[in-house]
A = this chain, B = another copy of it.
């Protein structure tokens, strides 16, 4: 299933991006989809999970092999344009945290049912 990323054994890195959207689309959905496709092509990309609720609050977590991979993605020319549009148009507020994943656990109901 699609939502929960299949990340490798830790350690790896995560970027947690929490945001409140402004009113209206203003090209956000198209750019968001483009950025997700582009991120997936970057060296060191491990996965992404993204949720936005009906109030416009969203959390996106993206997983990376190294801090260098995160830095390279941050500095990618097209991503920089998107970041600028984020501040000028799309986000009321955001918080971004970079963290090193030390351990993980997963649960899948279907696997529990298996013999």
Residues of B within 8 A of A91 (CB): 107, 109
Number of copies: 2
Chain A contact patch, size range: 35 or more
Residues of B within 8 A of A107 (CB): 86-87, 91, 93-95
- Bitwise interface map of A from 45 to 73 toward B, beta carbon under 8 Å scored 1, else 0: 00001011110011101000000000000
Residues of B within 8 A of A19 (CB): 4
Further 18 A-B residue pairs, CB within 8 A, beyond A59-B59, A87-B112, A92-B108: A3-B18, A4-B19, A4-B20, A14-B99, A22-B109, A49-B57, A49-B59, A51-B57, A51-B59, A52-B53, A53-B53, A86-B107, A87-B109, A93-B107, A95-B105, A95-B107, A96-B106, A99-B102
